[in-house]
Amino acid sequence: MRRIARLCFIFFTAWRYGLLPLLRDILKPGLSRGALTVICWISPGVSLPRGERIRLTLEALGPIFVKFGQVLSTRRDLLSEDIANELAKLQDQVPPFSNEESRRLIEKAIGQPIEEVFISFDATPVASASVAQVHFGVLRATARHPEWNGREVAIKVLRPGILPIIESDIALMYDLAKVIEKLSSDGRRLKLTENVAEFDRYLHDELDLMREAANASQLRRYFVDSAKLMIPEMYWDLCHTNVIVMEKMNGISIGRFDELRAAGVDFKKLAADGVEIFFTQVFEYGFFHADMHPGNIMISLEPETFGRFISLDFGIVGALSESDKNYLALNFLAFFNRDYRRVAELHVESGWVPADTRVEELEGAVRSVCEPYFDRPLKEISLGIVLVRLFQTSRRFKVEVQPQLSLLSKTLLNVEGLARELDPDLDLWQTAKPILEKWISKQLGWRGLIDGLKEEAPTWAKILPTLPRLIADALVKGGNQTKDQNGELEALKALLVQERHTHRLVAGALLFAGGFLAGILIISLGIY
């Protein structure tokens, strides 16, 4: 009954904000479309733009639908530009849960009263979202960690009872997606079920705060010596699946430009650093913060770290394989060099377009999208428009958009938006190109070969000493299996010949193994 009631509320909300006419327009002709046509005659809200109607409906349905809209806004290959832009405006505005409930959850997770763990604890949350809220506190020293005394921390607490709500709403999303795909003439292209599944995965990842803590720890390890980015330290003894405790980061939100400007922050340097941080995460490590809106980014004003970026909230991160990184880096570099032929060839080689695609046609289409935007400052370029046009081109050539790149495109748009506001004159291409060239040189040049040998040296060091014995054993077994047809004398001759060949092979194998192993050891020791 609860599920039926929720479905009725969803239907009423869609009617209230004039969403039903949009649903009717994508349905195939039939009884369902006729019934919706009658209902749409008395539907309010139809005068609003369609993107705004969709956004208002999702906002009214609650935080889970809002987050789904945020994820869906990254799929510009599936959505029209006006709808994607409206969905990108969605923000979580969720009332916090009670102070008493927050204290109870924290004490249950850490197994001790608040007063025994914290010198002070602010029961009023400093931030509240659909999944969790954050409190500030000051740690007490423990026998194991005396250095903790007086350290300022942030405590993130998962919203209680959120899992049943999420499971219920996601189940309804699956049902609605299947119905729309079945009844819509454009249902297959929209891939709503796949998008719901992708959203389901992201949201369940966010429900495990230990995963978020691990993501933060990984990025902190990558940038521990960075002069451009700071990541909070996790206090693992106090971290659990529904509560995590981390270093409190002091800074100002990157969206508060007036305060940053008054503090003397160099916006041009900030914009260039932001672009470098993003491309370093993507191509150097293949592991990047994928929720880079202003609420999750601060700028440090402390004297020793002045002007550095501070990243927060690591519930959503992106990961790329080596093949993904290679493909993207080569594509970006081809774009920067205006080698559209190479871009088209890379798409065919990767299997992202049908094998019978004419490279010349794809080359011309990509050129028509990208050529007008080179040699322009960022203020005259919209990566959003470029991406939209590229996605429209991808539909024409039946490009299979890879799911792992959806987060990347969303994050790139966030980075572009921040860079545009910080420094409209930034040359995005020239800032990113040296980073990509350095990475490609490291991966595909002599440095890449040497690093690969160093990485494989321990494995080869174990295999190579046994190689001569394995070769000799194989030859002996092969000789034993040969049947003698010509008597003992021929057998003796064959054995002598075999032994001579065996000794030569073994000697050659030993020389090869010794030389190869020596080379690997020299490289590993840094003598090269």
Q: Per-residue pLDDT tens for 46-55?
A: 677 888 888 8
- The DSSP annotation for 51-87 comes to HHHHHHHHHHH-HHHHHHHHHHTT-TTTS-HHHHHHH
pLDDT of residue 388: 58
Answer for the pair 328, 320: CB distance below 8 angstroms, yes or no: yes
Q: What is the mean pLDDT of the chain?
A: 76
Q: At what angle do helices 322-336 and 428-444 cross, to 10 degrees?
A: 130
In this predicted model, which residue has the larger pLDDT, 369 or 272? 272
Whether 209 is covered by a domain: the verdict is yes
Here the tokens at position 40 are 């749409």
pLDDT of residue 492: 45
Answer for the pair 103, 97: CB distance below 8 angstroms, yes or no: no
Q: Which residues pair with 158 in a beta bridge?
A: 132
CA distance 132 to 211: 14
Confidence band (pLDDT; 50, 70, 90) for 524?
very low
Q: Mean pLDDT across the stretch 466-486?
A: 63
Coil, helix or strand at residue 53: helix
Nearest to 90 by CA among 121, 46, 58, 48: 58
pLDDT of residue 503: 45
Q: Do residues 112 and 199 share a domain?
A: yes
Owning domain of residue 471: 448-524
Answer for the pair 65, 58: CB distance below 8 angstroms, yes or no: yes
Whether 312 is covered by a domain: the verdict is no
**DSSP 8-state class, residue 313:** -
pLDDT greater than 80 at residue 381: no
Coil, helix or strand at residue 468: helix
pTM above 0.85, yes or no: no
CA distance 311 to 293: 10
Q: Do residues 104 and 201 share a domain?
A: yes
User: Which residue bears the tokens 């194989």?
Assistant: 474
DSSP H helices in 223-266: 257-262
pLDDT of residue 150: 94
**DSSP 8-state class, residue 148:** G
Which of 227, 248, 269 is the last residue before a domain boundary?
248
pLDDT greater than 80 at residue 527: no
pLDDT of residue 519: 40
CA distance 292 to 516: 47
CA distance 446 to 451: 9
pLDDT of residue 29: 60
Count the domains in the chain: 3
CA distances from 165 to 68, 106, 179, 428 (A): 14, 21, 21, 42
Q: Do residues 100 and 240 share a domain?
A: yes
Q: Do residues 375 and 514 share a domain?
A: no
CA distance 150 to 371: 56
Q: Do residues 238 and 371 share a domain?
A: no
Q: Per-residue pLDDT tens for 105-150?
A: 999 999 999 999 999 999 999 888 778 899 999 999 998 999 999 9
Whether 234 is covered by a domain: the verdict is yes
Q: Mean pLDDT across the stretch 417-432?
A: 77
Q: Mean pLDDT across the stretch 234-238?
A: 95
Coil, helix or strand at residue 222: helix
Nearest to 381 by CA among 432, 331, 345, 344: 432
Whether 16 is covered by a domain: the verdict is no
Contacts (Cβ under 8 Å, ≥6 apart) of 499: none
Whether 287 is covered by a domain: the verdict is no
Q: Do residues 241 and 100 share a domain?
A: yes
Q: Per-residue pLDDT tens for 237-283?
A: 999 999 999 999 999 988 888 999 999 999 999 998 998 898 889 88
Polymer length in residues for the chain = 528
Residue type, 376: R
Q: Do residues 438 and 452 share a domain?
A: no
Q: Which residues pair with 153 in a beta bridge?
A: 137, 247
The sign one gets for the Cα dihedral 304, 419, 328, 313 is: positive
| Angle at 297 (CA atoms; ends 296, 298), nearest 5 degrees | 125
pLDDT of residue 509: 37
Which of 248, 279, 299 is the last residue before a domain boundary?
248
Whether 492 is covered by a domain: the verdict is yes
Confidence band (pLDDT; 50, 70, 90) for 496?
very low
In this predicted model, which residue has the larger pLDDT, 9 or 388? 9
CA distance 310 to 302: 12
**What are the catalytic residues?**
291
pLDDT greater than 60 at residue 384: no
Question: Backbone phi, then psi, for 317, in 5-degree steps?
Answer: -130, 155
Q: Do residues 357 and 485 share a domain?
A: no
CA distances from 462 to 18, 259, 291, 455, 459 (A): 69, 59, 43, 13, 5
Which of 207, 225, 248 is the last residue before a domain boundary?
248
Q: Do residues 437 and 465 share a domain?
A: no
pLDDT of residue 31: 55
Whether 194 is covered by a domain: the verdict is yes
The sign one gets for the Cα dihedral 383, 387, 390, 392 is: negative
Q: Do residues 173 and 99 share a domain?
A: yes
Q: Do residues 420 and 506 share a domain?
A: no
Burial class, 124, CB count within 10 angstroms (exposed 0-12 / middle 13-18 / buried 19+): exposed
Element (H, E) at 288: strand 287-289
Q: Mean pLDDT across the stretch 84-112?
A: 82
Q: Do residues 437 and 463 share a domain?
A: no
pLDDT of residue 24: 60
Whether 355 is covered by a domain: the verdict is yes
